[in-house]
Structure 1
Amino acid sequence: MSEASTNKPSLIAYTVTGSDEKSYFNRIGAAWPNSKGGFQLRLFATPVNGEIVLLPPKERVPAEPAEE
């Protein structure tokens, strides 16, 4: 298994659809840093418009326990 598939990605790849009023970000892949200062990009889909947006992953906030 490659190093990229075992570590958390540095960037998430999205394609953006919709209009200026309402945009939808659809996750299509991820990117990991490589040893030469670049990134390895793994895509699970290819956007029809050819545009990919790379953003840092969102921090996941743990859910608070429900009150009983």
Structure 2
Amino acid sequence: MSDTNTNRPAFRLYSVNGEGKSARWTDIGVAWPTRDGKGFSLNLNALPLNGRIVMREVTEKEAAA
């Protein structure tokens, strides 16, 4: 992402249950890289009790929405 969009999250966080085409992806938050580039700041709207958390880059299409 460019420096002009530093307030927009760079990543979306999903809780994923299941495998393959039957997996259920639930949007649970967003993430930004830290200023020193050695970690991430997370903003979670939910915390899954099972499954796994997947972090995906925000696409230009998602950022425009």
TM-score (norm 1): 0.67
* Equivalent in the alignment of 1:16: 16
Larger radius of gyration, structure 1 or 2?
1
Count of residue pairs the alignment pairs up:
57
* Equivalent in the alignment of 1:66: none
Gaps of 5+ in 2: 1-5
Shift, 1:19, TM fit: 4.5
Shift, 1:20, TM fit: 3.7
User: What amino acid is the match of 2:50?
Assistant: N
Give me the identity figure in percent.
40
* Equivalent in the alignment of 1:45: 46
Residue by residue over 1:1-44, the C-alpha shift from the partner in whole angstroms, topping out at 9 and shown as x without a partner, is: xxxxx711111100012454411211100001111211101100
Gaps of 5+ in 1: 1-5, 63-68
SS in 2 for 1:27: strand
Shift, 1:54, TM fit: 0.2
